[in-house]
Amino acid sequence: MRNGGEERKLAKDVERLTQLYEALLLVSHVVVQATNAKGLFDDVCRIIVDRGKFELAWIGMFDEVSKDIVPVAESGDRFDYVKAIRVSGADVPEGHGPSGISFRLNKNCITNDFLENPITKLWWDYAKKSGFRASATFPIRIKGVPVGVLNVYSNLAGYFQSKEIGLLEEAAGDISLALEKFAAEEDRRSATANLERYRAIVDSSSDSIISRDLDNNIVTWNREAERLLGWRADEIIGKSLDLIIPESRRGEFIRCQEMFRQYGSAVRELETIRVAKDGTPVRVYLIASPIFDEAGKLAGSAASLREISHRRALDEEIGRFFSSWADLLCVVNDEGYIERLSDSWTQALGWSTDELRCQPLLEFITPYDRQHFSNELQLIRCAQADGHAFDAGFQHRDDSIRILSWRASSIENG
């Protein structure tokens, strides 16, 4: 038979646990409704103090730079306890209290004798002023890794027993689940933004960019691919890449895929053919690279195509012009090497085309004229003497000297 004192104690215990249950239900509700961490933290601290009838609740998050556990939300702090103290997640004196222990060891830290326990000695003076006699600290985690702590304080020594600890641990677990949800949403937003940026880059490219999965189905088809090959993206995405590969190039395509599978290497500047929607063959330069998933497994490939039909026609026209011209014509690049020259060079100087192209042009000029010739070319590059005429002595293959009259002009990229 219980006496009156025991019944009153039992009634208080029941009332306390009922308050905690109600607080936990409200915490669960705000976790479901929360859209950001700051609002969630504020609501949880407020509910724990107002409905759970605690003296103080605060949440601190670990700062990677300072290694401190920085308060981000609190409720009930009538004496500015949270503002006055410093706690750390590092192995320093300020990190040897309940918050630091809970964070570093990733476990609950219950201090039912706050004003006598040596681990809280640094904060005794502040705790006396605030009326704290017991505290409970719980790690807040993201995917099992501690990122912060939840601290709850009572004015009763010995307050935190198994049931109270279990309920508050659930609250900390709910906070952790909410943070994981926020992190996942942020990852999705970031991935979406990156995807949109990628699409914008791909769509604005002057090259046709096409990607495929391991089933050989087209996944990406940009605007330039629409222009070059005639299919709209919504017509061809999801269809087989075989639609644009002529039968004569299937073996070549298979060899490229084998390179991806065996070596993970890219295909550089392959001259090949693709088929447009109307059946027209289109000559292209192709650069292709394998695509790997997060686990490092081959997931498909991407290719950049650049049409070369017009480029080849232009090259052929220039070639005909150079071969038919009686004067010595050449194009010299910024490094001083001949990129293109007419047949008349061999006739005039005796050097073969390969010999003339494998050394800088200045090497064929007599030492006496070399500096003058170099200065003239520099003026032309700076567009200060475009179309300027001058003479220079050239070394024939038979060691004789041939004086040539020059008229040079700068050209784009040359």
Same domain flag for 13 and 150: yes
* Higher pLDDT, residue 193 or 147: 147
Say what the pLDDT of residue 245 is. 94
CATH number at residue 158: 3.30.450.40
Could you tell me if residue 147 is inside a domain?
A: yes
> How many domains is the chain partitioned into structurally?
3
Could you tell me the CATH number of the domain that includes residue 218?
3.30.450.20
Whether the predicted pLDDT of 300 surpasses 70: yes
User: Is residue 142 within a helix (H) or strand (E), and if so which, with residue range?
Assistant: strand 134-142
What local confidence, expressed as pLDDT, does residue 321 receive?
Answer: 76
Do residues 317 and 301 both lie within one domain? Answer: no
Question: Looking at per-residue confidence, does 321 or 398 come out higher?
Answer: 398
Is residue 322 domain-shared with residue 274, that is, in the same domain? Answer: no
Rounded to an integer, the average pLDDT of 278-282 is 91
Both 352 and 282 in a single domain?
no
Residue 272 in any domain: the answer is: yes
Taking residues 66-78, what's their average pLDDT? 96
DSSP 248: G
Give the pLDDT score at 390: 76
Does residue 197 belong to any structural domain of this protein? no
Residue where a domain terminates, one of 307, 328, 347? 307
Residues 98, 221, single domain; the answer is: no
Q: Which domain holds residue 219?
A: 206-307
Comparing CA positions, the residue from 242, 243, 237, 238 lying closest to residue 257 is 242
317 and 344: one domain?
yes
Least confidently predicted of 152-156, 182-186, 218-222, 406-410: 406-410
297 shares a domain with 335:
no
For 115-160, the pLDDT digits (tens) are: 999 999 999 999 999 999 999 999 999 999 999 999 999 999 999 9
Mean pLDDT of 219-242: 94
> What local confidence, expressed as pLDDT, does residue 414 receive?
36
Sheet holding 69-75, edge to edge: 69-75, 56-62, 145-154, 134-142, 109-111
What pLDDT does 4 receive? Answer: 59
The span from the CA of 164 to the CA of 351, in Å, is 96
Residue 255: phi and psi, rounded to 5, are -65, -40
> Is the same domain home to 156 and 215?
no
The predicted pLDDT at position 119 comes to 96
Q: What tokens appear for 175 in the block?
A: 């906070």
Q: Is the pLDDT of residue 412 over 60?
A: no
Helix axes 162-204, 37-50, angle to 10 degrees: 170
Q: Specify whether 261 is located in the same domain as 326.
A: no
Domain assignment of residue 366, yes or no = yes
Q: Are residues 164 and 252 in the same domain?
A: no
pLDDT at 358 over 90: no
Out of 59-73, 305-319, 329-343, give the one with best mean pLDDT: 59-73
Mean pLDDT of 366-371: 89
- Is residue 388 domain-resident? yes
On whether both 276 and 155 belong to a single domain, the answer is no
Mean pLDDT of 207-218: 93
Could you tell me how many helices (H) and strands (E) the chain has, helices first?
A: 13, 14
Q: Which of 307, 334, 363 is the last residue of a domain?
A: 307
User: What band does 10 get if pLDDT is binned at 50, 70 and 90?
Assistant: low
User: Over 80: is that where the pLDDT of 361 sits?
Assistant: yes
Asked whether residue 397 is domain-assigned, the answer is yes
Of 264, 286, 307, which one is at a domain's C-terminal end? 307
In percent, how much of the chain has pLDDT > 70? 92
State residue 9's pLDDT score.
65
Let me know whether 121 and 172 are in one domain: yes
Residue 193 domain flag: no
What mean pLDDT comes out for the span 310-330?
72
What is the dihedral angle through the alpha carbons of 127, 131, 137, 142, rounded to the nearest 10 degrees? Answer: -90
| Any domain includes 200 | no
pLDDT at 188: 85
pTM score of the predicted model: 0.56
Beta strand 267-275 with 218-221 is unpaired
Question: Can you tell me the mean pLDDT for 352-372?
Answer: 87
Q: Give the residue from 386, 340, 391, 328 showing the smallest Cα distance to 365.
A: 391
